[in-house]
Structures are given as structure tokens and as C-alpha cells.
Homo-oligomer: A and B are copies of this chain.
């Protein structure tokens, strides 16, 4: 029995928001496995801001080649295996791509544990790259200490919402910056943030001053642009900016204005440090142990926005940049 694969291939580097003609849809039969290969049926595809960078330009990874299947992280089930390390029916996670089926050599493919009450999508959220990113940014890069003040931008997003909750668990005061009153309410009422700023309707610098009168110890930065400039002006001496991403610039048709306030790094003896989740693979077991513990204790709350159907992936990617999603954005494939 031959299954049909469905794929989105990148055919044009996007400019600004994703356009219908940037990807093309292909349906091709799944070829037979060779020795050492494993066939994965993808269940959920993760949509992350960094995908937009992968489509556009070389970065920490080479850009997706024009004509190739679009790169993406997903969770799936082993459908068939001629690889000694994987058995049919196992749940796996990795760079499965924007497609229904992936044939893998096993490299980069990770078995995920079967945990009672944990559904597969969670391995693309707090028990996957999202959780590890937040854990590393708050604790390893930002080095938040109990009693310190942390500000998180894109705080209602997947990484931001987990980062803020980790900050609370570790004894920090946490302020979130988000793009709607509903998101701000979620942060303060449901997630226990100490305060929230709606950057679309409130003056960010004045609100930072009011909510962080002694300044910011750790800025968990996902956005850049004017929000980062405001935070720099408000850093404490010895402050740390954990630079996770700069989504303000990822999907902009024209480059946003540059950062004007770097001079505060000198007067405040502060630093900006970029990081990638892939550098923390050696800490993953420790991080997932903590994250799973907090999750089962009910101390970490998660939100998903789930889009149905692989066909929706290109249009859905834009939702990461217009704010029309909550928490983790996923595509459910089956």
C-alpha cells in the first residue's frame, strides 16, 4: 500500500508577509524505505517566528533552498521503520518539515517519552523547544535571581508565557508586554504575572517606569525595535538582556528603525546576549525534568492556537506577526 505525501515547497523568498505564491503544494507517493530509514507520520507541525527567517535568509541555519520542502519542527508517530533505533508506533519529534510524511535517517529525530496525561502537542510546547528556550533564556542566559525583576516581550506568545511563569516560579517579579488587553488579562489573572503592558494602547516607557520603579534586572526579549529601546533605558546596573528573537524585523517589508539606546549598556554595565535553544541540548534532560514537574503540579499553564490542515500552514505563519494567535501556534495535520 502506497501512501501519498503532501508537501509545501518554498518557491520564492518571502518579502514582508507570506504571500500565496511563496510556496507550492505537492502530492507525491511515499517511496519505500531503505535500510536504516524511518517513516514518520506527522501529527502536529509547529509554527515558530524563526521559520520566517529560515525561508528568507541564511542565519544560524542555511536558508531553506528554493524548491525544497519548507523546514519545520513537528511531532509524529513512526509509521514504519527499518532503523534499529525506532519502532513502529513510537512518538518522535524533529525537523519533520511542512509535509505529512517524513523519511528520516534518524539523525535529528528524537523519541519522546510516553507520559500519562500528556498529549503529543505538548512536545512542541513546554516539553519541547519552546520550554527549553524559555528555561535557558531565563535561567542560563538571563540568570534571574529570586527577588529580581524580569520583563518579557511577546509575553502571551508560547516562549514568552513560559518564560514569565518560570520567572515567577523562581521568585522573580515578572512584567509582560503584549498586544491586547485580553492577552494582558491572561498574563496577570491566569499566569500570575505581576503586571502587564499593552504596547498597542499604553506608553511603554512610562508603564515600565511605573511597574519597575527600581529598573529591570532581566529583559527576556522576543521583539526588538521600540520595545527593546524602552527596556534598555530602564535596565538596572548589571542588567541582562536575554536576546531570544527580534520578531519586529522578521516579517517587516522594510527594516524597522535601528536600536538607539545601546549607550545605556555602558552606563548600566549591562549586556545583551543572544542564544539559541540548540546550544542547550546538553541541559535538556534537566530542563524537561523541571518543566514536566511544574506542569504536573499545575504551576505552568499553556495555551494553544491550533489550525487544522497542513494546507493552512503558509497563511497561518503570518499570524505569528500580526498577533492574531494565543500561546503556541500549531498545525494539526491529521
How many angstroms from the CA of A262 to the CA of B229 in the assembled complex? 12
The stretch among A31-39, A158-166, A265-273, A310-318 that forms the contact with chain B is A265-273
Binds B, one of A84-92, A189-197, A238-246: A238-246
Report the minimum CB–CB distance from A276 to chain B (whole Å): 6
**Contact across chains for A244 and B258 when beta carbons are under 8 A apart:** no
CB pair B260–A268 under 8 Å, yes or no, is no
**A59 proximal to B (CB < 8 A):** yes
> Does residue A263 face the partner (Cβ distance < 8 Å to B)?
yes
- Contact, CB under 8 Å: B272 / A276: no
* Complex partner residue of A266 from B245, B259, B260, B269, CB under 8 angstroms: B245
Interface bin, chain A: 20 to 34
Please give, as numbers and ranges, the residues of chain B lying within 8 Å of A265 by CB-CB distance. 243, 272-274
A258-B257, A258-B260, A259-B258 known; A60 vs B266 contact (CB < 8 Å): yes
Interface check A4, CB cutoff 8 A: no
Distance in Å: Cβ of A53 to nearest Cβ of chain B: 8
Chain B residue nearest to A275 in the complex (CB): B269
| Chain B residues, CB < 8 A from A255 | 260
Q: Are B246 and A263 in contact (CB under 8 A)?
A: yes
Chain A: residues with CB nearer than 8 A to chain B?
59-60, 224, 228-229, 243-246, 249, 255, 257-260, 262-276, 279
- Sample of 11 A–B contacts (CB below 8 Å): A59-B263, A59-B267, A60-B267, A60-B268, A246-B266, A258-B258, A262-B272, A265-B274, A267-B274, A269-B276, A271-B272
